[in-house]
Amino acid sequence: MLDSAVQKRFLDEVAVFSDALDRPIGSASVLAATLERVYNSFEEQDFFRYDVFQEREKAPETMFALFDLQMKLRERVGIWQKAGLMSRPAQKSARDCLRATRYAIDILGEIWTGFEQLPEGGRTYRAFTGTNHNTLYNRAGERDADGTMAFRSGDVILTRGRLHNSAAIARIGDIDSQFSHVAMVYIDARGRHWAVESVIERGAIVEPLSEWLDHELGRAILFRHKDTNLAQRAATLIHDRVQQANSPWGKRILYDFTMTLDEKTHNLYCSKLVRRAFREASDGAVLFPTFATHLDMKNRDFLNRIGVDAAETFAPGDLELEPGFEIIAEWQDYRVTSNLRLKDIVMDKMFEWMEEDGYKFHETLKVRLISILGRMASYLSHDVKEMIDDVIPVVPVNMKRSAIAAIAMLHETAEPLFQELRALELDRTKNSNLPLHPREVRQILDRIRETRGIEIGYLRKA
């Protein structure tokens, strides 16, 4: 541990970042440069230098300050957008800042909990619960009398699952997000809460919100549109649409693997479901996203395999900067955030290796067999699929064989890299009471690529 005289107050650094957001911005290039400097400050920090990372009791105050910094940044985005300053570089730098501050909050939460890990086979907390500052509130008065979150019809919840394919969805475009899925809240006339969503396995569905919040999530953000009447109309519209589609006389809304924003298509992916609800409820006046994710990479091997046709899309993480929404609260389970962070960076590097070094997935006979069996299983009933889920993955009827193979290869390539990093992380926390810095994780993965050469798991260099 550093001598207290040498340690610096991390809160002082946060105040510097906050002051930078308050300064007048005259051009898009100045805004992008300002945000990039804030991001680089987080990226280059040596956490050992700061008191809060050595003195556990100081963690909560700094977590709240960092969350306030995120909220200030989001508030400024709307102002900068109206001033015509949100260029593509500025958008990227803003997202980088949000990601870096979120990682810092995660690390502080992990320190606060003593690096508690989720037990093998254990379940994460239900989203927006937990006693270790798991939920950070943007505004007071957003809890019911029993302390639970006070949801409203039309709320939108952005989430992140714990699997590698969730990390891939979060990282699939030109923006490195930390979120992979989104759903809408609908509250019926009897006060029952429902989640309306579109998932790969089942397409568009409605299920009790309490069950949905218990789906092994790692992090979540509750968004509320500034026009509450519009949000309520949107929730009612999409709930009724999905319920009718899943009735015996309806036409099911399957998952849209193309990720296009074509409004003529019947199928929907998760973000497009939210987009369509608000577009139709507003008669076309409200259309997301304001800041789209671009899919214009040179190496489209993975995208082609999973069936993505779009060059620009509305990815779940695009909600982070959407000016029409306010953040009500953000939640994370600190017992799994270190795993999410490592999986994020593994996926960063895998996509970087594909784009910059020409790596592509190479199918083996084993993978081909798994994908063929998966396609065959897609024609079975849902109940039968669930029964054989441990043997053959649950696959929708419109999922291509190549997509099944790609997801299998993605997992089998990412998992060994994650386990290697995880062992290093556990050793680090045991010896120094600090996790690996994201910068260090990237450096380790670069060394792994140099050592392994042309073949990393199922990735092969042309």
**How many CA atoms are closer than 13 Å to the CA of 413, on its beta-carbon side?**
32
Return the pLDDT at 381.
61
Single-letter amino acid, residue 424: L
Four-residue CA torsion sign, 177, 182, 185, 186: positive
Q: Which two tokens stand for residue 410?
A: 């993605």
Closest CA to 64 of 124, 14, 8: 14
**What sign has the CA pseudo-torsion 159, 165, 169, 173?**
positive
pLDDT at site 7: 60
What would the pLDDT profile of 236-282 be if each residue is shown by its tens digit? 999 999 999 999 999 999 999 999 998 888 999 999 999 999 999 99
| C-alpha distance from residue 351 to each of 173, 252, 336, 362, 458 (Å) | 9, 33, 23, 15, 13
C-alpha to C-alpha distance for 150 and 165, rounded to whole angstroms: 31
3-state secondary structure of 303: helix
For residue 312, what are the CA distances in angstroms to 286, 291, 303, 351, 426?
18, 10, 12, 17, 39
Task: Return d(Cα 359, Cα 299) in angstroms, integer.
Answer: 9
* Contact in structure between 132 and 109 (CB atoms under 8 Å): yes
For residue 394, the model assigns a pLDDT of: 67
Enumerate domains of the chain plus CATH numbers: 10-112 (no CATH), 135-332 (3.90.1720.10), 337-461 (no CATH)
Report residues of the chain scoring pLDDT below 70: 1-7, 140-141, 145-147, 378-394
Nearest to 314 by CA among 270, 280, 277, 355: 270
pLDDT for 393: 56
Are 129 and 220 a contacting pair, CB within 8 Å? no
| Burial of residue 398, with CB atoms counted within 10 A of its CB: 0-12 exposed, 13-18 middle, 19 or more buried | middle
Give the whole-angstrom CA distance, residue 306 versus residue 378.
16
Distance, in Å, from the CA atom of 148 to the CA atom of 222, rounded to the nearest integer, reads: 13
Contact 413, 457 (CB under 8 A): yes
137: three-class secondary structure by DSSP: strand
Return the closest-CA partner of residue 353 out of 414, 278, 306: 414
Q: What's the pLDDT score for residue 140?
A: 67
Instruction: Using CB atoms within 10 Å of the CB of residue 88, give its burial: 0 to 12 exposed, 13 to 18 middle, 19+ buried.
Output: middle
